[in-house]
Amino acid sequence: MADLSIIVSEIELKLRKLLDEKNRLGVENKRLTEENEALDKENLMLRQSVAELQDKINKSTIVNVLDNEGEVEEGRKLIKELVKEIDRCVSILNSKE
């Protein structure tokens, strides 16, 4: 009988350790889940910020190109010439078909 009570005590001790470990892992899991959600939110905000900054860079580049070309009219003239060249290329491609 003494052996049986020792075995039962050891099983109880192991069960307590397992329950403590389960509780500890549950707390850690909750903390990691919250941290993951916070990082997901931060990631989304950073992606939005990158998109906004990329848009600003694109707009700034367009303005700089127009400023470097001189007046706005010269920029428009350049764009019109490029459109005409594209139209010519499209017509050449269409005529080969």
- Mean pLDDT on 66-91: 77
- Mean pLDDT on 55-69: 74
Cα–Cα distance measured from residue 51 to residue 6, given in angstroms and rounded to the nearest whole number: 66
Q: pLDDT tens digits, residue range 16-58?
A: 999 999 999 999 999 999 999 999 999 999 999 999 999 888 8
Residue 69: how many CB atoms within 10 A of its CB? 15
CA torsion 15-17-22-24 (nearest 10°) is 160
Cα–Cα distance measured from residue 8 to residue 14, given in angstroms and rounded to the nearest whole number: 10
Cα–Cα distance measured from residue 6 to residue 31, given in angstroms and rounded to the nearest whole number: 38
Dmax over CA atoms of the chain, in Å, equals 104
pTM more than 0.85: no
72-96 and 2-68 helices, crossing angle to 10°:
100
